[in-house]
A = this chain, B = another copy of it.
Amino acid sequence: MAGKERRRGGGRYPVAAAVELTTKLGPETVPDEFWGEHTSPVARALLSSAVQCFARQGFHATTTRDITAVVGLSPGSLYVHFASKEAVLFHITRTGHERALAALTAQPDDGDCRQHIRRLVAAHVSWHARHHTVARVCQYELAALEPEHAAEVLDLRQRFSAVVRTTVEQGAREGVFDVADIDRTVRAILSLGIDLVRWYRLDGADSPDALGESYAELAARMLGAAGPST
User: Which residues of A pack against B, CB within 8 Å?
Assistant: 1-2, 7, 12-15, 17-18, 20-22, 57-58, 60-61, 84-86, 139-140, 142-147, 150-151, 153-154, 157, 180-181, 183-185, 187-188, 191-192, 194-196, 198-199, 205-206, 211, 214-215, 217-218, 221-222, 224, 226
Contact with A187, one of B18, B183, B185, B199 (Cβ below 8 angstroms)? B199
Q: State whether A144 and B12 are in contact (beta carbons under 8 Å apart), knowing that A20-B154, A61-B60 are contacts in the complex.
A: yes
B contact residues around A85 at 8 Å (CB): 1
The interface residues of chain A, by DSSP majority, are classed as helix
Q: How far is the CB of A40 from chain B (nearest CB, A)?
A: 23
A-B contact pairs, 15 of them (CB 8 A): A2-B86, A2-B144, A15-B154, A21-B142, A22-B142, A22-B143, A181-B214, A185-B218, A188-B215, A191-B195, A192-B192, A194-B195, A221-B221, A221-B224, A222-B222
A15 to B215, CA, bound (A): 32
Q: How far is the CB of A32 from chain B (nearest CB, A)?
A: 28
Residue of B nearest to A185 (CB): B218
When A and B form their complex, which 4 residue pairs have the shortest distance between CB atoms, in order from nearest?
Answer: A60-B61, A191-B195, A195-B195, A21-B142
A215 to B85, CA, bound (A): 39
Known contacts A12-B143, A15-B147; 20 additional CB pairs below 8 A are A1-B86, A2-B144, A15-B150, A15-B154, A17-B150, A17-B151, A18-B142, A18-B154, A22-B143, A60-B60, A60-B61, A139-B198, A140-B140, A180-B214, A183-B205, A184-B218, A187-B196, A191-B195, A195-B195, A224-B226
